[in-house]
Structure 1
């Protein structure tokens, strides 16, 4: 993450603008997951869509106010993006994006979610702004590099001033992409909650790959870019995921100024995708998942749990940044792929 003065760096926001985690907690016991494995697998297959394939059939599409945003017409670059956004709303990307059922274990009675200490069924999703965000990122990163020419080794730091027309355009487009990413998660959780016949007791949502206007301790307003980091301001709730076989953590930020009020957005990769494909076999990964009692639909060896860092070590290294309120342990996972 980094902070700038009245300027935004599109590359420092990232390609998948507004990528986020969203958690719903249901008043169901953990044994529900082991008793309904096949049923829950079918719910995930029926109510999620991944990757670049078509979205939901016309009769199953859900509308959302974000699709009617004036920004689609106000920003010239976005005028032909509305149809694609309407096609992809409520869907998830490929790569490390997922929707999964698991066990929520609340350990802190002061969790601010109104949940008693104990275990629940949870639904966790990770995805971003799909084709809309990617097109915005690529377009304005190119324009920033053309309008703010830096040495080659620093070209990705090219910025757009927020007092410029291009800067204002990007900020509006970035904000819309973030709102679109949030709308996708809301639809995913709405569909699955309805299919379960349950209303969530609590929800938590936090995002990364975004820029925020915030004030420093000395009162200066800055633009905080969090690419691969998530807000951890004082009292801010979030989820920091591990891997398919490791818990994620529900956290409350401490607002540490030295970290710009931020924390990691996940465990992070131990192996590159290429290395994982070279060193890990599908049979090995499937056995590893079985050993950890995890059912996976889709996915590939590049997303194997062994390709990720130890989340416990990651959380230990940022214990000054967040308080842990509970955990989420994946059990039934849906990702892109057959």
Structure 2
């Protein structure tokens, strides 16, 4: 059934969702993207929905150009997952565990009060080199280094989460979803403003899709800051996972708990990749790389579980897949449509917050994850379905 070719676009667009199921505003954004002269092709994932400039759930291959909006404001946003040695029958007092996690890993706008002991977590390598790169970032963020240091290893809000899950065989997993926090957004905003002023972007369909061109100082500066923010996001997830494992082991007994190999993947990022024999800049915004044999995590909505997947390396999608369930309604619409009572009903059996502050993250505000997985069965194979038993939100 999929992919479906979108008609009437300047450059090829392949959809893993029916046009009739995509909101009109998102369809227009897709057409705007495909009208850019530097675009080689656009691939649209089944979790597609409106974003800023470019839709969430898009994979865009460009020749010698990149649009910051095709990466997203949360540069390097992604997910991590690790399998533990425990089984579901050994879980107990998840409420106390959730409170312990929330006391250790700041959520929402909060930051760490003191530096995390990275040596204790076994994560003390490469930090001097990494932080020395801060002074070379855009001048507009130089005042934010202390904040960036304090927010590293913190969850943030919105659709970011920490979860304890159980797979189909009863094995317990830890998963989390977060990005580059305020520093990533600030860098994205500064560079987008620069791109809008460039002569190459005058007259494009949407000024939010302004691009940088290869061989220009503006492109070099953006890519430098982009790589740094992507590394920040990956390191931040690693720190959070270290803190999460520490709390998990403390709660259940260190001698009883061991951890497998971690999955840590971006779903808002840029990479140089070979597309049809040509090296291009590929942006994935709300999409993961699904190269043949590569493992990744595709989460659903709050408390709705996730899938551990293995990529099939499908070239038709630029070796990509959906990053999650994708929103089906805006946050404001969700708050108008649902109540705390609805949230309690839809998260039954999950240890989590159940208050007005997270009604916008109610499962019904998102697409059905199993439907998304069905639409992309040519892109990934499901390895494990993870059922959520504990969820931490910002």
**TM above 0.5:** yes
Aligned to 2:137: 75
Deviations 1:144-163, CA, capped at 9 Å, x for gaps = 11113333632222111231
Give the 5 Å matches for 1:37-116: 37-53=94-110, 55-58=111-114, 60=116, 62=118, 65-66=126-127, 68-69=129-130, 70-77=132-139, 78-105=141-168
Q: SS state of the match for residue 296, structure 1?
A: coil
Q: Which digits, 9 at most, give the CA deviation of each residue in 1:290-322, with x for residues without a partner?
A: 2xx111137511100111111111100000001
Question: 1:73 offset after TM fit, Å?
Answer: 2.2
Distance 1:186 1:208 in 2: 16
Cα 1:67–1:155, aligned 2, differ >3 Å: closer, same or farther?
Answer: farther
Which 5+ residue runs of structure 2 have no aligned equivalent? Answer: 1-58
Cα displacement (A) at 1:6: 1.7
Which structure is higher in RCO with an 8 Å CA cutoff and minimum separation 6?
1
Query: Aligned partners of 2:128, 2:74: CA distance in 1, in Å?
Result: 18
Question: How far off its partner does 1:329 sit?
Answer: 1.4
* Runs of 4 or more above 4 Å deviation: 59-64
Q: What do you get for the CA RMSD once the two structures are aligned?
A: 1.8
Q: In 2, are the aligned partners of 1:71 and 1:173 still within 8 Å (CA)?
A: no
Kept after mapping to 1: 8 A contact 2:311/2:381: yes
Evaluate the alpha carbon distance shift between residue 309 and residue 67 of structure 1 in structure 2; reply closer, same or farther with a 3 A threshold.
farther
Equivalent of residue 81 in structure 2, options 2, 13, 23: 23
1:188 aligns to what SS in structure 2?
helix
Deviation at residue 328 of structure 1 after TM alignment: 1.5
Report if the CA contact (8 A) 1:193-1:199 is conserved.
no
Deviation (angstroms), 1:83: 1.7
Q: Distance in 2 between matches of 1:183 and 1:297?
A: 27
Q: Check whether the contact 1:71–1:172 (CA below 8 A) recurs between aligned residues.
A: no
User: 5 Å matches for 1:102-181?
Assistant: 102-105=165-168, 118-147=169-198, 148-151=200-203, 153-181=205-233
Give the distance between the partners of 1:16 and 1:99, measured in 2 at CA. 17
- Partner in structure 1 of residue 12 of structure 2: none
Which residue pairs with 2:32 in the alignment? Answer: none
Q: Distance in 2 between matches of 1:59 and 1:127?
A: 19
- 2:381 maps to 323
After TM superposition, the score normalised by the length of structure 2 is 0.77
- Whole-angstrom CA distance in 2 between matches of 1:8 and 1:227: 12
Give CA-to-partner distance per residue, 1:123-177, whole Å, 9 cap, x none. Answer: 1100100011001110111111111333363222211123111111111111111
Structure 1 residues without counterparts, runs of 5 or longer: 106-117
Aligned length in residues: 319
CA drift of 1:60 comes to 4.7
* 1:67–1:121 Cα change, 3 Å: farther
Query: How many angstroms apart in 1 are the aligned matches of 2:314 and 2:299?
Result: 21
Decide whether aligned partners of structure 1 residues 235 and 46 sit closer, same or farther in structure 2, where only a CA change above 3 A counts: same
Looking at structure 1, the residues matched to 219 and 83 of structure 2 have their Cα atoms a distance apart, in angstroms, of: 39
Quote the offset at 1:287 in angstroms: 2.4
What TM-score do you get using the length of structure 1 for normalisation?
A: 0.89
Q: 2: distance between equivalents of 1:61 and 1:329?
A: 31
CA deviations on 1:25-68 (whole Å, 9 max, x unpaired) are: 100011233x2313312321222111222x22226554864464
SS at match of 2:258: coil
2:264 is aligned to 205
The answer to which of 59-68 and 88-97 deviates more is 59-68
CA contact (8 A) 1:72 1:81 kept: no
* 2:79–2:177 CA contact under 8 A, matched in 1: yes
1:9 pairs with 2:60: no
Q: Report the Cα distance in structure 1 between the residues aligned to 2:208 and 2:390, rounded to whole angstroms.
A: 38
CA 1:168–1:199: 2 relative to 1, 3 Å: farther
Of 289, 297, 303, which aligns to 1:239?
297
Change (3 A) 1:41 1:143: same
CA distance, structure 2, for counterparts of residue 224 and residue 103 of structure 1:
34
What do the CA deviations read for 1:65-86 (whole angstroms, capped 9, x no partner)? 4464243123343543322211
